Amino acid sequence: MTEYQLWDYLHILMFVFWVGTDMGVFLSALKSTDPRLPIDSRFLLLHMALRIELLPRTMWKAALPFGVMLSIQVGALTLGPAALAAVWAFSVIWWAISMAGAWYYDKPFGHRLAAVTNWLNATIGVAAFIGVTTLV
């Protein structure tokens, strides 16, 4: 297996785990609104949805370094070792902030971390859009 194939495979897995587990979160949350279920079951479904949601949250953060590695392998991007390390470090820190926000979702500290995560998500989304459109 070449390095390109490895990053390509990991990128595909990242996408599958992101979309697939997001569907599990959606279905669990949707079923939790069913008035025919006892309230305990509805709370359990919401609790499950919040825990399952950690996987798509993680995969979203993995998209950046995996995409950068794949772009380097196909020759669409050239980064030095320091810049590449910065991408990975940023992604790990971004993931840690997101996980801490999810862990403390019911506390003010978690709300602040969620706000930081939302700001980072928006910033990364805009930067990725600008980056992709300038390559085309």
Note the pLDDT tens digit of each residue in 42-91. Answer: 999 998 998 898 898 889 899 899 989 998 999 888 999 999 999 999 99
Q: What percent of the chain lies above the pLDDT cut of 70? A: 99
* pLDDT, position 136: 66
pLDDT-based confidence at 108, cuts 50/70/90?
very high
The CA–CA distances, whole Å, from 73 to 47, 66, 68, 69, 70 equal: 40, 11, 9, 6, 5
Domain that includes residue 125, residue range: 3-135
- The span from the CA of 74 to the CA of 70, in Å, is 6
Mean pLDDT, rounded, of the chain: 91
Give the whole-number percent of the chain exceeding pLDDT 90. 62
Q: Give dist(CA 125, CA 120) in Å, integer.
A: 8
pLDDT at 77: 85
State how many domains the chain has.
Answer: 1
Q: What is the average pLDDT across 24-49?
A: 94
Full-model pTM: 0.81
